[in-house]
Structures are given as structure tokens and as C-alpha cells.
Chains A and B, each alone.
Chain A
Amino acid sequence: MSASAVATGPGSVDELAAGLREVGYLPGESTALVSYLATRLGKPVLVEGPAGVGKTELAKALSAFLGRGLVRLQCYEGLDEAKALYEWNYRKQLLRIQSEAPGTGWQDVQEDIFGEEFLLARPLMTAITSTEPVVLLIDEIDKTDQEFEAMLLEVLSDFQITIPELGRIEAATRPVVLLTSNNTRELTEALKRRCLYLWLDYPTLEHELQIVSLHAPELSQTVAKKLVELIGMVRDLDLKKPPSIAESIDWARTLLLLGADDIDAETFRQTMSVIVKHRTDLDVVAERVGVKLTGLGG
């Protein structure tokens, strides 16, 4: 299946969903649909949602399923085009000038040092120029400033980069682009306009149960069920950092290691630091959820 997927892209939403499942990612209905549309239309997808719901994982899973390399650009405050697009390798340029034999004209040198040989490709450039199609992940786009977003527009809508000294570089192959955002700031309309939008939220109980069972298959169903219910309860509390899916899985594995066959108040107290990672949060959770467990009679 994935051999054909490499050549032509998935043929239907179900095929893509099945493929993602094969590589260990359980997509929700809309996730599969939007990813499918992205591969068909060649449009970037803007994935928003709280931290730890598998936004980045989705990109990894897509790259595994489609058999494409993953190019990742981690955004941060102050990221600029020299680090995201390209940079001239000026050290090499200097060397080139210094090692110049006397008599060569300036024209030759200039043409030479602004050639591709002296260009340092950064993630976006790599993704665009790659001869093999790739999956491009622009992670946490909301961490950058608006100027950077504006710079991305050319890449995202036309899949090309303009370098003043070289001219326009067009994409040899169309990458599948995913942008993730934690919604810490409103992204510009222009950027959103160019993207499909996918909101990823915490999974429903059943969905999370499937995810946990997939990653910790040895855990008994009853414990796994109780685990996701507890996680749901903890997420409903007003916490600084609610537990992510990855932490549910970690917790399941921890329970396996401890050989726990039930989550009682004692086990919960001992292991809750796996899912709650803030001192004040720990107090709140111990108070609200731990007590409830005791109340149920362990």
C-alpha cells in the first residue's frame, strides 16, 4: 500500500487513515480528511491545538506513511530568513576571493561567488529544492514574528524562493507542508488564507483508549480504560499544564513497569508525577482526583 502511496499519493481518505494507523498514528476523522486533502490539493495545512495532542507527530507519521523525508523548521522568536531560507557562505566566498589568481576580472569572481556552490540551504530551501518529495514541518509558527510570516507567503503559495543574486528557485517537487501553532498569537489573515485549517483537540475517551492500547498493548483493557478516564478528569481541572497524549502513554508504560493491575489511590499518588509536572498542579490533582479515587474505595 505505501509503495503506491509514494508514487501517487493516497487514493482515498480511508486509505490514508489506514496508512497512518499502520505507522502508529491514530488519526481522528477530520485529521485524516484534512491530511488527505492536503496531499491532493498540495495546500499547506495549519494545525492548531493545545500542546501535546500530536500535531508534530502527525507530520512525522505522514512522512513515514508517504515514504517522504521530513524537513523540520523549528520556529522561535527572532528566527530570520538567514536561518530559515538560505545564507551565503561568506567564509567560503572570502576564501574564493583570496585564492584568486591575479588577472581574473571582477566579473568572473562575482558570478562565481554568488553561485549555488556558496549557498547554504536552510530548511525551507532544502524542502523546496529537494529532488525527492518531502514533508515540510514548520513547527510552532506562532513563536515567530509577523515579518517572518510574510516571508513564508511566497514559499507557501507558490512553492518558490526568490534570491536577489540568483533569481527565482522553484520547487522541483511539491512538499506536503504542515504548520503547527499553539495559538499563542493570532496568525495573519494572509497566511491563513493560504492554508487548510485543522483544529486538533484532546481525543475523545474511546480514541485515546485506542491510542494507549496501541502504544502499550500489554496493559489490560480495564486499567487502560480507567487510565484514560482519569486523564480526562485531570484535563478538566484548571491546570498550568494539562497532560498530553504522550504523557498518557508514558503513564501506561509506567504502570506496566510497576506491574500495577489497578489504579488505586496509592498507585495514583506514586505515579501521578508522570502526567502532572508542576508543583501547584500536583497539589490540585492530588486533592481533587486522588480523593475521588479513595472515595471509590480504591
Chain B
Amino acid sequence: MAPAAPRPGALYGGLPEPGPPGMSARVLEFGEELRGEGVAIGTSELLDAFAVLEEIDWRSAPGFREALAATLAKSQEDRRIFELVFERFFFRAVEQAAVREGVREEGGIDAGAAGEADLDRLREQIARALADGGESAMRDLARLAIAAFGRQGEGSGVIGVDVQRIRRALGLRSEPQPELPGDDPRRPGLPREALRRFEAILRRELERAQIERTETLPPSRPLNELDRALPSGPLQDLAAVHRVVAQLKRRLATEGLQARGRRAHRHVDVRRTMRASLQTGGVPVVLKFRPRRPRRPEIYVLCDVSTSVTSASVFFLSVLHALHDSFRKMRSFVFIERISEVTDTFERERNFKAVSEAIARDAGVADVSGYTDYGRVWSEFRTLVEDDLHPRATVIVLGDARTNGRDPRADIFAEVAARAGRTFWLNPEPRLYWNYGDSVIAAYERYCRAFECWTTRQLEDFVRALTRPEDGDRLSA
């Protein structure tokens, strides 16, 4: 290893010079980087990491990674972030050293010769490597592919776009491609896992090439928050949704217990205490208490199902219905231009997919022009539930509050909010976008509590707030 060059940006204003150049400092910096991404890392975790590194041969990459992960990332979510940061951090560390030392990598393959290699053969080689799954072969081929396709047209400059472009040009797909000749390995479709790996390699090689070209590092950016967002595409990942719901449900179930345990203010059940006292000759040794009942609110949910927020709405509705036993009564409505009640649909269908199909089919009545009309929705909602609303009811609205230029009619909304005990607004847009364009959430926010709700964490927080017994609200069912 080269003698330690002055290390830029030493941590905490300079560390005691470590023995082997930079290893422990690197680990500390890595920990710092993880903290920056919101992983809770304490000193004890870092100490563990050092202890662990003494036990293993940290020259083997997978062992090093696993050992660090076992000490630093303590949940599946953290682990995912760890993987991303690890890749970014240690890759950058290597590149930084290379830039500093002016090292250029001598590729195993001459990029100049790659142009001559005919594309069809390259395609086939890559497909074969993918099917067999050899890591180093894939890396070499990725470079060849970049060299070959970089020549055809200029890169777009955006690495993600280039990766997809190259993949398409190579005709690599996971679906079977029956039009190809019989001996082509792409014909039965390539393994999805291998494709993902190949894309990751492509991305790295492209980044490396960019660094070599410009001789600077791209700025490190915090991982996109949206990486951890709620499913927003057209119901792309049903299983994931279901897992979240199932987990949420179990968590809330235990949460309720804790709330009951913590709030130990309980009433003695005289009858049961007296009965139990017979065992001890009439002396009430063991007190029996009345069980505390969790808050079981009555809920009215209104969900915007116009295209911009459909999946968030349906997702949210199915969460609430999965939790329906925590509520005394629950009625759900969907709306676009008009409003329609879908409570029955959810009671009939337990399956997320069936529900969204049913909503798309039956709730079609709610859609005339395809544009949300909040004013009309409020007045219709008021007519529908006017007699049922009372101070113990909770109204939840899920929507982006984008009126498409129509009158928001916040006055009617205020009336509804006044009748109901609590009113919440969930906005699936990040707070940054609120009140921009035709979003009029400020007009409604005066009458309700507005939450942003575009990650599962936020959703979970909201549902918790909803079911937690509140002070000043002692009269729970």
C-alpha cells in the first residue's frame, strides 16, 4: 500500500494516527456516513465493529461486509441502507485513492479492440455469462459492452439511463423470447437475479469511467428518500404491500397492549375482587381490576382515487380494513368527481388485488371527467353522513388536495370537521409540494390535522396516533 497521503477531511478535527493506514478511520467515516442516512449507530456499535474486524480476515470482501453489517445494521431496513452505503462508500474510497495517486486501471480487455468485436457475439457471450452467473466474466463483459455501445452514440450523461440503454441494446430480458434461435441462452429468459447483478456492475463500471474521464468524484448524495417510499406505481408489488399490512397489524396489536400496560391507572373491579377474596378467607389480598379498553373510534374514510393518488389510497384503505377490528365502525368512501361508498367491497373482499379491481370497476360512478372536484365531494359527503356524524367520530381524508382550479369549498369541509370529533388529512405528497400549483391544502389544514404520508413509516405513525387513547378523550367506547 502507498504511504499515507494527507487524508482530506479527517474526522472530529483529526484522529490519533492509526496503525495501518486509515483502516479504523475509514470504518469511523463509514459509521458517520451511515448516521447521515439515518441509521442509529452508537459508540458501542463502532466498538463492536472494531472487535469484529480483529476476529476475521478482513481482506476477503464478503466477510468484511458481513462482519460490519452484523455489528452496524440492526434491522432489515438498516441492512438495506447499509448495502447501498457500503457500496457507495468503499467504492468511493477506492476511487478517491486512485484519483489521488493518478492510477488508471489497466483493464483486462483492450477497449480499442472492443469496437471490432462483433455485437452479436458480445450479446451472446453476455447472455451466457448471465445464465452461468460468473462474477468476473460479467465484469469484463460489462466493460466490453460499455466500450462497444459508448462508441455507437454518446452516453446520455445520466448513468441510470445509460444502463437501461445498454441492457436493451443487448436484448437482455427476463421474459422468454421465443423468436430467438433455439441455442440462444436468452431464449428461455435470463435469471432475474443475474440481470440485476449485471446492471449493478454496469452502473459501477460507468461510474468508474466517468471518474477516470473527469478525474473528480461525483458528489455523494444522500440516498433518495423515495427509495424507501410507499408503493406508488400501479400496484406493482402486491406481496410487499401485503407484508407491510400484516406487519403493521401485528405491531399495532402489541402496541395496544403496551399502552394498556403503561397507563396503569385502573379501576378496581369490586365484584371480582370479592369473589377472589373467598380463597383467602374473605380478606381481599389480590385486587382485581377492570380491563382497560383501547380506543375504538368510529371512522369515516374518504379517499381520492383519481389517477395521481390511486395506489396510495387503495393501499391506505386496505390497511384500515385490515385493522377493522380495532375500530367500532368504519365506513369508507372513494371519490374523484363524485363520491361513492365502498364499505361493502372491503367487507366482501379480503384480497388487496380484488379490492382494487372492484374499486376500479364499481366506483367508476365516481368518475365523470376524471378530475377531482372537492367542493362537490364535500357537499355530497355532508348529505350522506350528516345524521351519523357525532363528536366521537373520526373523519380521515386521503388526497393531494389538488382541485384542478375548482372551488375548494373549505366552508363545507369546515362544517363536516366541526360535526366530527377529529378530522385528519393524509397527503401522499411530500410536504415540499404542498400549496404549489393547484394544491390548496392550506385551506383545509385550518380545520384538520394534516399529515404527510408517503412512506410506510409515516403511515404507521399515523395509524398509531389514530388508535392511541388520547387524554381529554377518556370516554372511549
Contacts and interface: CB of A to CB of B under 8 A. Distances in A.
Interface string B274-309: 000000000000000000000000000000000000
Interface in B65-96: 66-67, 69-71, 73-76, 79
Contacts of B79: 197, 199
A66 B239 CA distance: 39
Contacts of A29: 62, 66
Interface residues of A, number: 34
Q: Which range holds the interface residue count of chain B?
A: 35 or more
Contacts of B76: 48, 183, 199
A236 B237 CA distance: 11
Interface string B33-51: 0000000101011001001
Contact of A145 (B44, B67, B70, B257): B257
B52 interface: yes
Interface in A176-201: 183-186, 189, 192-199
A33 B251 CA distance: 30
Nearest to A197: B74
Nearest to A43: B48
A186 B456 CA distance: 14
A33 B70 contact: yes
A238 interface: yes
A29 B70 CA distance: 12
B63 interface: yes
Given A146-B258, A184-B251, A193-B45, A238 B239 contact: yes
B55 A40 contact: yes
Given A40-B55, A193-B42, A34 B70 contact: yes
A256 interface: no
B324 interface: no
Nearest to A33: B66
A185 B255 contact: yes
Contacts of B255: 185
B217 interface: no
A192 B74 contact: yes
A196 B48 contact: yes
Contacts of B51: 41
A36 B63 CA distance: 11
Contact of A192 (B56, B75, B261): B75
Contacts of B239: 236-238
Nearest to A144: B254
Contacts of B48: 41, 43, 196
Interface string A214-251: 00000000000000000000001110000000000000
A193 B44 contact: yes
Interface string A137-155: 0000000011100000000
Nearest to B255: A185
A211 interface: no
Contacts of A197: 69-71, 73-75, 79
B247 A33 contact: no
A185 B250 contact: yes
A195 B74 contact: yes
B211 to A, nearest CB: 30
B75 A30 contact: no
Given A33-B70, A184-B250, A185-B250, A145 B258 contact: yes
A1 B79 CA distance: 34
B261 A145 contact: yes
B187 interface: no
Nearest to A77: B257
Interface string B254-266: 1101100100000
B251 to A, nearest CB: 5
Interface string A21-40: 00000000110011011001
A46 interface: yes
Contacts of B242: 238
B238 interface: yes
Contacts of B238: 238
A37 B247 contact: no
A13 interface: yes
B73 A37 contact: no
A189 B40 contact: yes
Nearest to B44: A193
B70 A184 contact: no
A37 B55 contact: yes
13 contacts: A33-B56, A33-B70, A37-B56, A40-B55, A48-B75, A77-B257, A145-B254, A147-B261, A183-B247, A184-B251, A193-B42, A195-B74, A238-B242
Interface of B: 40, 42, 44-45, 48, 51-52, 55-56, 62-63, 66-67, 69-71, 73-76, 79, 238-239, 242, 247, 250-251, 254-255, 257-258, 261, 350, 352-353
Given A36-B56, A145-B258, 18 more contacts: A13-B56, A33-B63, A33-B67, A34-B70, A37-B56, A40-B55, A41-B48, A43-B48, A46-B74, A48-B75, A48-B76, A145-B254, A146-B258, A184-B250, A197-B73, A198-B70, A238-B353, A280-B350
